[in-house]
Structure 1
Amino acid sequence: MTAGSAAASRGARKIWLMFIVATVFGAVLVGPYLLLGSDNSRLDVNGGVHYALLVTHIFTALIALVLGPLQFVPAIRTRRQIHRTIGRLYLFAGVLPSALAAVPVALLSGRLITQIGLTIPAVLWLITGTLAYQAARRHDYTQHQNWMMRNYALTFLAVTSRILVPLLLLAQTPFITSAGSIGDRAPSMIPIGQSLGWIVNLIAAETLIRRRRPRSARSRRDVRPSPSGGSARPEDEECGV
């Protein structure tokens, strides 16, 4: 096995691991909402409309959370029609409705940290999704993948925020005098975890994108004649629009 194929194999395993993590977390997140009872909501809601928007946001976010990693699997990317179908479902059945529902859910929460911490990533979710779609339409597959990485980083907030909250609580343990107050502080930590989560994810995505740039530059230099007489890059054969 060559170094390149070994690296690709490791990358594929990481993507499948992300898919498993996303699926498990997604199942846990939607669990309380399967029976559509507002009494089971993890978040305080102000009436039926607020709850309906919350449920819409959660279930469509689940679509984006689970489908997102599949877009980066090399074996799927080489099958253009499958890649295109998954990408459109991800954007139009997942990201778009979930982001649009997230804004009023955040604003109706009545908590400033939640309003800011969820509205900003929701807007960025829409912007990065739009830029990814436009890049694919103009066949700029490098930028398409970069924007999709940023977009899924925002999607993965559903996972990261749930990891950060316990870590934030543990960090406060030396300053807490009674065991019961740890659980009491959990609800107040959720908005902070949500606000920090998307920032952490975007930093991670940008780091990965910058690491990919030298490889992309080499791929652009390594052009070869295409059957139509022009030139084709390796990534042009992997992505569909």
Structure 2
Amino acid sequence: MLSVKKNIPNILKTLLIIGFGYFFWLMIKITLEYIPSKADVGFLMIKQTEIGQQPEYLYFFYTHVYTSIFVLLSGFSAILRKNFGLGNFHKNSGKIYIFLILIFAAPSGIYMGVFANGETLSKISFVTLGCLWWFLTFMAYRLAKQQKFKEHKQWMWRSFALTLSAVTLRMWKVIIVYLFHPDPMDAYQAIAWLGWVPNILLIEYLITKKKI
């Protein structure tokens, strides 16, 4: 019985890697739609008004798309840490993760949030998400510089919870559309919040209970 209990964490870790690998592949497929960069493909098909009125929109959009995939990868790599024999890799992955979010991914996400579909509710959600993402990541960076590594770890988990909104948003979209068949804009307003609020609440619960 004891050996079975010892094996459970390893099984969960393996499932975590497999699950992340699957969704990471889906994100890569989405990203590949925008290579080479075009103004009339995928999500951009419904953003022609913004592209026409705000020429810089495309630059922010592609900055966000191209950096976010590396944010996901570097963030997950940093989380693997010493448990997977990647202790030295953790620090470098964390630096890449923080740099990409603070300089590129979060600022471009905030800009895009201003022009989000779904009217005011969606705009508020995505702008709030971008601002929180930047702030939580900056706090993690600041605490690492101060060598407060326990607190740094907690803030990195908070940041990564929001990073995963790229995945959970799409999961919620599939669930809501399949179960309720809502109007597209109603669905978009719902997933705008469901994509990240449950993530951060779960992480706060786990931190409070000292599970991570």
User: If the length of structure 1 is used for normalisation, what is the TM-score?
Assistant: 0.74
Cα 1:205–1:89 shift into 2, 3 Å: same
Separation of aligned partners in 2, 1:82 and 1:3: 30
The counterpart of 1:113, out of the listed 117, 121, 130, is 121
* Contact preservation (8 Å) 2:78, 2:89: no
Q: Does structure 2 retain, via aligned residues, the 8 Å contact 1:132–1:148?
A: yes
Displacement of 1:107 after TM fit? 1.0
The gaps in structure 1 that reach 5 residues or longer are 174-181, 217-241
Quote the residue 1:126 is aligned against.
Answer: 134
Residue pair 2:81, 2:90 contacting (<8 A) in 1 also: no
Task: Report the CA distance between 1:63 and its aligned residue.
Answer: 1.0
Q: How many residues align?
A: 204
1:54 pairs with 2:55? no
Give the AA of the match of 1:40. Answer: V
* Bigger RCO of structures 1 and 2 (CA < 8 A, at least 6 apart): 1
Give the 3 Å change call, closer, same or farther, for CA 71–142 of structure 1 in structure 2: same
Show the counterpart of 1:207.
205
1:68 matched to 2:75? The reply is yes
1:63-212 alignment, distance < 5 Å = 63-75=70-82, 79-94=86-101, 96-109=103-116, 111-173=119-181, 185-186=183-184, 188-212=186-210
Specify whether residues 161 and 87 from structure 1 end up closer, same or farther in structure 2 by C-alpha distance, changes over 3 A only.
same
Q: 2:66 & 2:145 partners in 1: Cα distance?
A: 28
In structure 2, the CA distance between the partners of 1:100 and 1:138, relative to structure 1 (3 Å rule), is same
| Structure 1 Cα separation of the partners of residues 16 and 193 of structure 2 | 25
Judged with a 3 Å threshold, the aligned counterparts in structure 2 of structure 1 residues 62 and 95 are, in CA distance, closer, same or farther, namely farther
Distance 1:21 1:54, change over 3 A: same
Q: CA deviation at 1:165?
A: 1.2
Conservation of the 8 A alpha-carbon contact between 1:76 and 1:83: no
**Per-residue deviation, residues 199-240 of structure 1 (Å, max 9, x unmatched):** 011122122223335xx8xxxxxxxxxxxxxxxxxxxxxxxx
1:36 counterpart = 2:6: no
Aligned to 2:22: 21
Q: Shift of the alpha carbon at 1:168?
A: 1.6
Task: Name the CA distance, whole Å, in 2 between partners of 1:122 and 1:4.
Answer: 40
Alignment check: 8 A CA contact 2:169 2:192 kept: yes
Q: Quote the offset at 1:93 in angstroms.
A: 2.2
Q: Deviations over 1:94-117 (max 9, x none)?
A: 454111001111213473233111
C-alpha distance 78-128 of structure 1, shift in aligned 2 (>3 A)? farther
Q: CA contact under 8 A between 1:15 and 1:73: conserved in structure 2?
A: no
Q: 1:23-69 deviations in whole A, cap 9, x for unaligned?
A: 22321321321121111031433123212211111111111112211
* AA partner of residue 61 (structure 2): L
Over the aligned positions, Cα root-mean-square deviation in angstroms equals 2.6
1:92 is displaced (CA, Å) by 0.6
Distance, in Å, in 1 between the alignment partners of 2:14 and 2:109 is 31
Q: Looking at CA atoms only, which structure, 1 or 2, has the larger radius of gyration?
A: 1
Do the aligned partners of residues 91 and 4 (structure 1) sit closer, same or farther apart at CA in structure 2, a change above 3 Å counting? farther
Q: Any unmatched runs of 5+ in structure 2?
A: none
Post-superposition shift, 1:155? 0.4
- The answer to whether the 8 A contact 1:67-1:90 is kept is yes
Mapped to 2, the partners of 1:90 and 1:139 lie a distance apart of: 18
TM-score scaled by structure 2?
0.83
